[in-house]
């Protein structure tokens, strides 16, 4: 097989190589973005699960609603247990507030991507006590 017009063949080959390079670069960015979104989803799910566990635990709900100083240690212990069960890798901060307050946990890092969630906690319909707990997670 003899190629008579080599310039046409080289142009087709160059175009094919250019398409492969562009597709490779776009694929690289897509994979990196997908991995980042997956990490965020894991963090969001973990925060949601932790907050639901706290809200469903009668003892911890009572601690949150009691509003007594120094009782955050049990909540802190529960959060650290749940993070360790999930495989760890996250650091956290939480804060308990009134429902109408802006609730931002203390000691949040400035250089990390923060994943945050909050849940309201109430006693019974007769007691009319309401609080919310905000949890912030970041990769440690």
Cα torsion 66, 72, 75, 77: sign: negative
Q: Give the per-residue pLDDT at 51.
A: 92
Q: Give the per-residue pLDDT at 118.
A: 92
CA dihedral 119, 57, 75, 139 (to 10 degrees): -60
Break the chain into its structural domains and give their ranges: 6-139
Backbone phi and psi for residue 17, each to the nearest 5 degrees, phi listed first: -65, -40
Q: Give the per-residue pLDDT at 69.
A: 55
Average pLDDT per run of 10 along the chain, which is 140 residues long? 68 89 85 69 88 87 74 84 85 89 87 89 75 89
């Amino acid at each position: 097989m003899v190629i008579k017009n080599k310039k046409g063949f080289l142009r087709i080959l160059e175009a094919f190589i250019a398409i492969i390079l562009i597709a490779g670069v776009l694929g690289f960015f897509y994979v990196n973005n997908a991995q980042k979104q997956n990490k965020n989803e894991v963090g969001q799910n973990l925060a949601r699960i932790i907050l639901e566990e706290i809200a469903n635990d009668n003892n911890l709900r009572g601690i949150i609603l009691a509003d007594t100083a120094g009782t955050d240690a049990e909540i802190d212990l529960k959060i650290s247990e749940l993070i360790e069960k999930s495989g760890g890798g996250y650091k956290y901060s939480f804060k308990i507030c009134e429902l109408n307050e802006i609730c931002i946990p203390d000691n949040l890092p400035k250089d990390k991507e923060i994943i945050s969630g909050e849940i309201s906690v109430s006693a019974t319909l007769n007691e009319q006590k309401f609080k919310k707990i905000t949890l912030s997670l970041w990769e440690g």
